């Protein structure tokens, strides 16, 4: 396994909770997208949630600011309504010449009265299993 990193953007804490489970399974630390990568990375797990049917501008800013080689990005996301944020990452990553893996992990996130308690323990376990399949 090469170098792996986890970056995420979270407003309400759902994606942060998922990012921490992803990072723990990979044996590394989850960091916010405000922290740049510290070198070339083989696999970048990138976590986000949809806001207004797109990802937050901070995620796009992180991608456009990447100045190291990234082998591929693996998306993970939480959402109350939209299935995944993958489609919102395609264009900014393509503009940087960074491949976006077809494999991704998405689960429900709580928002107002929707999906209380999500991501839950089962979601976090499923995310960890997903990560182990990707990095082995």
Domain that holds residue 118: 4-122
Q: Please tell me the pTM assigned to this model.
A: 0.93
The torsion angles phi and psi of 46, rounded to 5 degrees, stand at -120, 120
Calpha distance 110→119 (Å, rounded) = 7
Chain Cα centroid distance, residue 121? 18
In a domain, residue 132? The reply is: no
In a domain, residue 32? The reply is: yes
Strands (E), 3-108: 4-8, 30-32, 41-48, 70-79, 100-108
In a domain, residue 128? The reply is: no
| pLDDT tens sequence across 71-102 | 999 999 998 777 799 999 999 999 999 999 99
Overall domain count for the chain: 1
- Burial of residue 41, with CB atoms counted within 10 A of its CB: 0-12 exposed, 13-18 middle, 19 or more buried: buried
């Amino acid at each position: 396994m090469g170098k792996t990193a986890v970056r995420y953007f979270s407003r309400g804490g759902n994606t942060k909770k998922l990012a921490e489970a992803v990072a723990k399974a990979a044996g590394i630390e989850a960091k916010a997208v405000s922290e740049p990568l510290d070198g070339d990375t083989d696999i970048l797990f990138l976590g986000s949630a949809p806001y207004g049917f797109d990802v937050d501008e901070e995620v796009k800013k992180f991608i456009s600011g990447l100045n190291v080689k990234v082998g591929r990005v693996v998306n993970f996301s939480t959402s109350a309504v939209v299935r995944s944020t993958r489609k919102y990452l395609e264009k900014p990553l393509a503009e940087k010449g960074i491949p976006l893996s077809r494999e991704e992990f998405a689960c429900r996130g709580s928002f107002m009265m929707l999906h209380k308690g999500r991501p839950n323990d089962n979601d976090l376990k499923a995310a960890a299993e997903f990560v182990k399949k990707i990095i082995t």
